Structure 1
Amino acid sequence: MIEDIAVGSLPRALQRFAECHPNVALELTVTESTVLSEKLSQGQLDVAIGDPALIRGEPILTWRLPLRWVAARGFVLPEEGPLPLVTFDGVCTWRHKMIEALKGGGRPWRTVLTSASLSSIQSMIEAGLGIAVLLDLNIRANTMRVLGTEEGLPPAPVIELGLFAADHQGLSSRPVSALWAFLSEELQAQALATGRAA
Structure 2
Amino acid sequence: MRRFDLDALNTLVAVADLGSLSAAAAHLCRSQSAVSEQVRKLEELCALTLFLRGKKGVSLTPAGDRLLAHARSLLRLNDVAWLDMQGVVLSGDLRLAITDYFRPTDLAGILKGLGEQYPRLRLHVFIRKSALIEHDVERADFDLGISMSIVGRGEESDEDTAHRRVALRREPLMWVAGASYKVDRSAPLPLITLPGHCSMQRFALAKLTEQRIRYFVAHTASGISGLQSALSAGLGIACLNASAVPGGVRALEREIDLPELPMVEFSLLIPRTGESDRVREAADVLINRFK
Q: Shared fold (TM-score greater than 0.5)?
A: yes
Farther off after superposition, 116-125 or 88-97: 88-97
Q: Which residue of 2 aligns with 1:154?
A: 259
1:149 offset after TM fit, Å? 4.3
Q: 1:121 to 1:15 in 2, by over 3 A?
A: same
Q: 1:71 to 1:2 in 2, by over 3 A?
A: same
Counterpart contact for 1:85–1:112, Cα < 8 Å: yes
5+ residue gaps, structure 1, are 189-198
Counterpart contact for 1:13–1:183, Cα < 8 Å: no
User: Is 1:136 the equivalent of 2:242?
Assistant: yes
SS in 2 for 1:5: coil
Counterpart contact for 1:68–1:146, Cα < 8 Å: yes
Q: Which residue of 1 aligns with 2:189?
A: 83
Match among 133, 142, 147 for residue 45 of structure 1: 142
TM-score w.r.t. the length of structure 1 is 0.78
Q: Which residue of 1 aligns with 2:45?
A: none
The 5-angstrom pairing of residues 66-105 of structure 1 reads 66-105=172-211
Match among 170, 173, 179 for residue 275 of structure 2: 170
Counterpart contact for 1:4–1:138, Cα < 8 Å: yes
5+ residue gaps, structure 2, are 1-97, 150-154
For residues 143 and 226 of structure 2, the distance between their equivalents in structure 1, rounded to whole angstroms, comes to 29
CA RMSD, Structure 1 to Structure 2 (Å): 2.6
User: Is 1:124 the equivalent of 2:124?
Assistant: no
Number of corresponding residues: 184
For residues 172 and 74 of structure 1, the distance between their equivalents in structure 2, rounded to whole angstroms, comes to 51
For residues 92 and 151 of structure 1, the distance between their equivalents in structure 2, rounded to whole angstroms, comes to 25
TM-score w.r.t. the length of structure 2 is 0.56
For residues 171 and 113 of structure 2, the distance between their equivalents in structure 1, rounded to whole angstroms, comes to 23
Larger Rg: 2
User: Is 1:36 the equivalent of 2:107?
Assistant: no
1:28 offset after TM fit, Å? 0.6
1:59 offset after TM fit, Å? 4.7
User: Is 1:18 the equivalent of 2:115?
Assistant: yes
Identical positions, percent: 23
